[in-house]
Chain A
Amino acid sequence: MEPLIEFRQVCKYYHMGDTTVVAADHISFQIFKGEFVAIVGSSGSGKSTCMNIIGCLDVPSEGTYLLSGRDVGKMNKNELAEIRNELLGFIFQQYNLLPKLNLAENVEVPLMYAGVNKLDRRRRALESLERVGLREKWRHKPSQLSGGQQQRVSIARALVGNPSVILADEPTGALDSKTGREVLALLQDIHAAGNTVVLITHDNSIAVQAQRIIRLEDGQVVYDGPSDAPEAVVTPRAAGIRQGGGDA
């Protein structure tokens, strides 16, 4: 079976003045359709870089990233925008809803850029809101909702275009543990319904909710395997002094 996401020796370098920061150092892995994978790592491990590349917000400096068999690294900005629109659903830590739009309009945004007509857009947005249990509130503005509810709207938005991959970047980071658990349960439901979910987090307790963990450190993969194996949550290498760059 062809992998949905495939990293082949992906490298990413950032140039900051005279120094070059290696954010991704020959990373290779494959994610197949229907998997629930957590990419785990502390700040500066390269997980955000991975997430940007998987999300087609960025392209590798070296190596190849194949999404559904297509080489993303060779695409221009417009093609990347199309890929993001069709194949990816983003869930952000800060929800990133548009404050001036109501919930239905927020969920409709990806469909709007996909050129879906107004009636279908509204119908599908309401269906998607129904899945996260917020259909009745579709007229509300995001600011009228709690954090957990806003995150559910952003999940509805990620699902609405029927993407191949749901990409969740610290989805529980801004939530208290109870609502965080609810959001995770929702992600598990989505996975159970057949979606491929990639979860990016620094938190082991959240990562273990996934089936499989890819642990990154200093831009390299240090563990790739089932989440219930004891090594999955152990940091195998002592944390050394890392070269700048922060959470690049």
Chain B
Amino acid sequence: MSIWESFTLAVKNIVSSKTRTLLTMLGIIIGVAAVIVIVGLGNGLEGYITDSFSAMGTDTLTVTVMSRGSTRTLSVDDMYAIVEENSDYLDLCSPTVAMMGYVKIGAETISSTSCMGVSEDYLTIKHYDIAQGRNLQYSDIALRSKVCVIGAYLNQAYFGGNAVGQTLRVGGQTLTVIGVMEQQEDSMDEGGADDCLYLPYSTASRISGEVSSYTVTMQSEDQITASVEVLENALYQVFASDDYYTVTSMAEMLETMTDMVDILVYVLAGIAAISLVVGGIGIMNIMLVSVTERTREIGIRKSLGAKERYIMEQFVIEAATTSALGGILGIVLGDGLCVIASRVVTSVMEATLTVSPTIGAVLLAFGISVGIGVLFGYLPAKKAAALNPIDALHYD
């Protein structure tokens, strides 16, 4: 008797009691579907985080410095010098000054706009393009010009698309708009990526105080650790202590975040997998009942020459088939739920989050469900195989 015949026999038995089989499989179905949805959500979340960080630039480092007394300070020129000296690793540099004040355009005060004092390289670092007018220039920085570049949202909403040459006020200073940036997002919203304003850092530091942070780009994303190290070494020489500066790599932050998401997904998937074990116990339970119910059948088969191995094989294959079928239904259900989850999350979070399980996760879930069937089918099968044919024949 071949495995294939055992399999067709198992399918026949499964088909002949559909309701019971479906109920038996329920634990496996739910377990597999839950694992798939959770892994899918994790993937979606990871993708979302990666996208967000990539938009911020994974090739950039953020440096924050404080002054230590009056002697050990880092001027903007010092920082530029450091970047220049380490040009093997570091590329562009821009001081950044976050502005606290509101933007005033005419009589209106806009609180949502993010204002920042930057160098002429900042837009290049961020891969932002100019749509109208011009970018900030070195001369603007050197002369502390009262000029700014604005995001597409401000241009559309407050200047009717003709902002270049117009003026606005930030922190009591009147600035002339010299450029408008390309639109970043598909839909421009208040407080979104397009609701921004950049002015020379020299001008900004007059309003908001000293420059205390920098955005530095690396020559290569493959040298994150080395780049961070050279920057930290240079800063340590200035401050003689590592308490007065921090160097943060976007890529490292991204890695930390994705690691955290991974751990979360593993833990949640592990919890979901408990349901697989419960499902397996359900299968074992039903198989044990089935062995009792089919005692007579087992006796007949044995009297007709079935060896213990065949009886065992029949029950193990039946359990494995049941749970594999449950696994397949679980995969279908899980994929369906992933599609629904994608839509729900996207509409609730107003962000595109694609919930999609990996092929690996799907195959693993299927493999585990078959394995559980074999594992939990073994005990009932052994019981069936060990039945004495005489007792089994007289069993009613």
Q: Enumerate chain A interface residues (CB-CB to B < 8 A).
A: 52, 55, 57-58, 77-78, 81-82, 84-86, 90, 92, 96-98, 100, 109-110, 112-115, 157
Contacts and interface: CB of A to CB of B under 8 A. Distances in A.
Contacts of A109: 300-301, 304
B305 A81 contact: yes
Contact of B393 (A78, A86, A96, A157): A96
A163 to B, nearest CB: 10
How many of chain B's residues touch chain A, expressed as a range? 20 to 34
A112 B304 CA distance: 10
Nearest to B396: A94
Contact of A85 (B304, B308, B389, B390): B304
A96 B300 contact: yes
B308 A113 contact: no
B307 A113 contact: yes
Contacts of B296: 96
A98 B297 contact: yes
Nearest to B297: A98
B127 interface: no
Contacts of B393: 57, 92, 96
B310 A78 contact: no
20 contacts: A55-B303, A57-B303, A57-B390, A58-B390, A78-B309, A85-B304, A86-B305, A90-B303, A90-B304, A92-B393, A96-B296, A96-B299, A97-B300, A100-B13, A109-B300, A109-B304, A112-B1, A112-B5, A113-B305, A113-B306
B343 interface: no
Nearest to B310: A113
Contacts of A96: 296, 299-300, 303, 393
B302 interface: yes
Contacts of B309: 78
Contact of B308 (A78, A110, A157): A78
Contacts of B68: none
B16 A100 contact: yes
Nearest to B5: A112
Contacts of A58: 390
B12 interface: yes
Interface in B304-322: 304-310
Interface string B271-314: 00000000000000000000000001101111111111110000
Given A96-B296, A112-B1, A113-B310, A84 B390 contact: no
Which of B302, B307, B310 is packed against the most chain A CB atoms within 10 Å? Answer: B307
A31 B296 CA distance: 30
Which of B296, B310, B393 is packed against the most chain A CB atoms within 10 Å? Answer: B393
B305 A82 contact: yes
B293 to A, nearest CB: 12
Which of A55, A92, A100 is packed against the most chain B CB atoms within 10 Å? Answer: A100
A84 B304 CA distance: 6
B389 A57 contact: yes
Which of B300, B301, B304, B307 is packed against the most chain A CB atoms within 10 Å? Answer: B304
A82 B310 CA distance: 12
A55 B297 CA distance: 17
A113 B304 contact: yes
Nearest to A84: B305
A57 B310 CA distance: 17
B274 to A, nearest CB: 35
A82 B308 CA distance: 11
A110 B389 CA distance: 15
Given A57-B393, A77-B307, A100-B16, 9 more contacts: A81-B308, A97-B300, A109-B300, A109-B301, A109-B304, A110-B305, A112-B1, A113-B305, A115-B1
A236 B113 CA distance: 117
A248 to B, nearest CB: 10
B294 to A, nearest CB: 10
A52 B390 contact: yes
Contacts of A52: 390
Contact of B307 (A57, A81, A86): A81
Which of A57, A82, A85 is packed against the most chain B CB atoms within 10 Å? Answer: A57
B182 to A, nearest CB: 71
A57 B305 CA distance: 10
B136 to A, nearest CB: 83
B303 A114 contact: no
A78 B304 CA distance: 12
Contacts of A100: 12-13, 16
Nearest to A161: B305
A81 B5 contact: no
Contacts of A84: 302-305
Which of A58, A86, A96 is packed against the most chain B CB atoms within 10 Å? Answer: A96
A96 B392 CA distance: 11
Contacts of A98: 297, 300-301
B307 A82 contact: yes
A57 B308 CA distance: 13
Contacts of B306: 81, 113
Contacts of B389: 57
A142 B395 CA distance: 19
Nearest to B300: A96
B323 to A, nearest CB: 21
B163 to A, nearest CB: 81
Contact of A78 (B13, B16, B303, B307): B307
A114 B297 CA distance: 18
B307 to A, nearest CB: 4
A100 to B, nearest CB: 6
Given A57-B390, A78-B307, A113 B300 contact: no
A105 to B, nearest CB: 9
Contacts of A112: 1, 5
A213 B317 CA distance: 46
B104 to A, nearest CB: 85
